[in-house]
Structure 1
Amino acid sequence: MKTKKIIASMLFIGFCLVSHAQTTNKSKTGDQDNLTKEYFSQIMGVAINTTTSTKLYQFVYDWLGTPYRLGGDSKKGIDCSKFSLAVYENVFNTTIGYNSRNQYDNVTPIRKSDLQAGDLVFFKIRSKSITHVGVYLGDDKFAHASSSKGVMVSSLNEAYWQRYYYNGGRPKKDEDRIMTADASNYKEDNK
C-alpha cells in the first residue's frame, strides 16, 4: 500500500513538473509574441490586428538585421526577392516567384491606398524595370532586404521610396501564377 502511494506521489510530482515546463515554454512563446507586437506597434507604428499579421510580424522581426547578399537566401545574407519569397513560403505557405519581376507577374496590381499587410510593394530604382520588392506591413511601412542595411522596415512615405515606388500587388490564385526561373534577369533584379 505504501509503495502505491509513493508511486502515485512520484507520478503526481512528475505530472506537475511536465505541466510547469509546458507552461514555461508557452510563456516564452507568449513573451516573444508580445515583444514582436510591442516592437511593431510602438516602435514602428504598425497596428497588429490579425493572426496572419502576428505571424508576418514575427517572421519579419526574426529576420531584422540580416545582412544583404545578392542571391542569398539564409540568415547569413539575403536579397530582396528571396526575402519576400521566404515571407510567403513561411507565413502564407505559398510561392510567389524567384525574382522581383517574376513576383510582379504573379500579383494582381493594387493601388497604394488599398494595400493590406502581406501585399507586395514594387520599386523601379533608377531603371525602367522593377528592381526591388518588399512586403507591406500596414500603416505605410514595409519590410525588405536593403542592399545597404539588410533586412529592415522602411516607410513608403520616405522621399526615396516615394520617388521609386512603382506599384503594389496581391498574389494571384495558384492556377493564375507564372513560375519561371529566368536566371538571365536575376542579377539585375535584386538590388
Structure 2
Amino acid sequence: MERTLNLKPFNFRLKINLFFFVAVIFLLSSCGARRYTVKSDTKAAKAADAMANLKSKSLYRFITDWTGVKYRFGGLDKNGIDCSGFAFLLEKEIYGVTLPRISRDQANVIKRKNVDNLKEGDLVFFSFGGNDVDHVGVYLNNGFFVHASTARGVIVDDLTLPAYQRVLAKSGSVN
C-alpha cells in the first residue's frame, strides 16, 4: 500500500501566510513613505520665509544671533535689550548708520515712507501708550519685521497683525 501526502492544506496555509506577510510589509513601507510637512501658512513658517528671503546675509546673522535675547528696558547687550537699543545696534552694525538711542528720537530722523514701500532695514514705529512713539522695529520683507518685544524678547513678527496695525505710528528709512 502506497502512501500519498496530501499537500493541499499545507499549500493553502502557506499562501495565506505569504499573503499576510506581503500585506504587512506593504503597510509598513507605505507608512514610512508618508511625508510630514509644516503648513506653509503658519506664522512661524512665514517668519522663516521672511528670514530666508533677506538680501543681507549679515542682517540674517545679526538677527539669528540676537533672537530670543530677553527684553530689558535700557539694555544694550545680550543680557537684555530694549527695542530702541536693538534698532540702534542693528543699524550701526549692518548699515553703518548711527541713530539716536531713544525710539521717539529715532522716529524724528527718518525719511517717512508708506508701509507698502518699505525696504529691508527700514524702521517701523509704534505708539502703544498714546500719542508719542514708544516702540521701534526693523522692517525685513513681506510684512515682517524684527524687534525687541517686551514679552518675548528679540523676535521676528508680522506687521500685518491687527495689534500692530492699530498702533503703527510711522515708518521710513534712515537714509
TM-score, scaled to structure 2: 0.71
**Counterpart amino acid of 1:55?**
S
Task: Tell me, yes or no, if structure 1 residue 76 matches structure 2 residue 79.
Answer: yes
* 3-state SS in 2 of match to 1:45: helix
Match of 2:48 in 1: 44
1:162 to 150, 161, 165: 165
Q: Is the 8 A contact 1:41 1:48 kept in 2?
A: no
**Counterpart amino acid of 2:53?**
I
In 2, Cα distance between equivalents of 1:139 and 1:171: 20
* Structure 2 unaligned spans of 5+: 1-43
* 3-state SS in 1 of match to 2:49: coil
| Superposed counterparts of 1:18-167, under 5 Å | 44-46=48-50, 48=53, 50=55, 53-167=56-170
Q: Please tell me whether Structure 1 or Structure 2 has the larger radius of gyration of its CA atoms.
A: 2
Q: How far apart are 1:158 and its partner, in Å?
A: 1.1
How much is the aligned-residue C-alpha RMSD, in angstroms?
1.7
* 3-state SS in 1 of match to 2:65: helix
Q: How far apart are 1:71 and its partner, in Å?
A: 0.2
Residues 103-162 of structure 1: CA deviation (Å, up to 9, x unaligned)? 111100010000000000000113100010000011100000011111001101111111
Q: Is the 8 A contact 1:83 1:144 kept in 2?
A: yes
* 3-state SS in 2 of match to 1:44: helix
Q: How far apart are 1:44 and its partner, in Å?
A: 2.3
Q: How far apart are 1:70 and its partner, in Å?
A: 0.2
TM-score, scaled to structure 1: 0.65
Residues 59-113 of structure 1: CA deviation (Å, up to 9, x unaligned)? 0111000000000000000000000001011111120111101111110001000
What count of residue pairs does the alignment treat as equivalent?
A: 131
Runs of 4+ in 1 over 2 A off after TM superposition: 40-45, 47-50
Q: Is the 8 A contact 2:124 2:171 kept in 1?
A: yes
In 2, Cα distance between equivalents of 1:70 and 1:59: 20
Q: 1:49 to 1:150 in 2, by over 3 A?
A: closer
Larger helix proportion of the pair: 1
Q: Percent identity?
A: 36
